[in-house]
Amino acid sequence: MPKALLLENIHPFAAQSLRDHGFEVETRSGALAEDELIEALDGVDVLGVRSKTTVTARVMDARPGLTAVGCFCIGTNQVDLEHAGQKGIAVFNAPYSNTRSVVELVISDIVCLMRRIPAHTHHLKHGLWDKSAKGSHEVRGKTLGIVGYGNIGSQLSVLAEAMGMHVVFYDLEEKLAMGNAQRMSTLNALLEQSDAVSLHVDGRKSNVGFFGEDQFAHMKQDAIFINLSRGFVADLDALKRHLDSGHLSGAAVDVFPTEPKKSGDSFITPLADEDNMILTPHIGGSTLEAQESIGHFVSQRLLDYWFRASTTMSVNMPQMTLRAGTGEARIAHLHVNLPGMLAQVNQILGAENINVTAQSLSTEGDLGYVVTDVSQMPTQKALQALRDVHGTIRMRIIDL
């Protein structure tokens, strides 16, 4: 019976789906540190994490039996993807499942900050009646600057325009503008004309400290700042200085450079005493709808990989979409992308008169992936010969 370990309160649907397909499933509510994770992975075939558990090269080296990692979230920067590929560990995520949830939170942040709802709420909680329109604005007619125009950024663009906002965006790659949104040639050009700036960049290393003192300085007077992307992207000390000086009128921050491992842990930030500030504990995608959708999507990718060897939507493997098998067994052979690998696989099978009923090859970068359906189960000698082929990373045999 294969074993799965799911951490960080992954939606129960994922655990049930895996159990329904024969997995023994252990669930834990919090994240695990490196040594704790190595211990917990003893005998585990499939690991499920969210954003707090880091799957390092040391973890993977210590547990060579680990076959796949499911990131039940958008990002995969918590996993050493290159090393996972070298170890034959497939990694999957859910790049689209919580898009709507994140976008809706950004829209609500924009409205609340423009109307100074956090400040008014704070005053009332402390016994001060401050009925005033000073500093409060409609979002209609204001300019929203979106930094990063991927799945979330582009959908935010659509909803913001529907509310009457003018949208400008900046992205390093060429992106098709949605509606009447305008692409800006430079980040500074976007910052200088935006009444609200929202970050939606990915977790690549080059984005560490991407938005700092210089970028805040280029923002409009009384603009608002929103970050629901990655905690290491924005310099929060610089943000605080620009809020304290009166340059910026408000901010919403959902992600932080250092975050607690589990719910209930203490958390302190110098931004807590700011007047017009929304602080949320990394809940941009944390709606019941989004978490259920993520649980369904990622668990299905893991099941497809385990039972069919399909790598559809894997972030570190050659892409191959596979249906039900056509023979007795399926051989999944992951290897270094070298010439002649397909020929060697077929030579080994041919030497035992094993008929190939279907075969596919896919390569990506340094990796190659051959999946072969055969009419009879190969002998242990043949399977060992496949493992011994120079350049083999991992070979799996799946009963059909």
Enumerate the active-site residues: 230, 259, 282
Tell the residue number behind the tokens 């894997």, with chain if given.
314
Amino acid identity at 303:
L
The full length of the chain comes to 400
Q: Which residues pair with 253 in a beta bridge?
A: 227, 279
Contact in structure between 25 and 7 (CB atoms under 8 Å):
no
Amino acid identity at 237:
D
Collapsed DSSP state (helix, strand, coil) of residue 109: helix
Torsion over CA: 57, 62, 65, 71 (sign): negative
Contact residues for 205 (Cβ-Cβ < 8 A; gap 6+): none
Rg (the chain; Cα; Å): 25
CA 280 – CA 228 distance, rounded (Å): 9
* Kind of pairing between the strands at 3-6 and 46-49: parallel
What DSSP string describes 42-77? Answer: TT-SEEEE-SS--B-HHHHHH-TT--EEEESSS--T
Contact in structure between 85 and 294 (CB atoms under 8 Å):
no
Contact in structure between 242 and 213 (CB atoms under 8 Å):
no
In terms of Cβ atoms closer than 10 Å to its own Cβ (0-12, 13-18, 19+), residue 300 is middle
Contact in structure between 345 and 298 (CB atoms under 8 Å):
no
Backbone angles phi, psi at 90, to 5 degrees: -80, 140
What DSSP string describes 243-296? Answer: HHTTSS-EEEE---SS--SSTT-----GGGG-SSEEE-SS-TT-SHHHHHHHHH
Collapsed DSSP state (helix, strand, coil) of residue 368: strand
Structure tokens belonging to residue 81: 């993807």
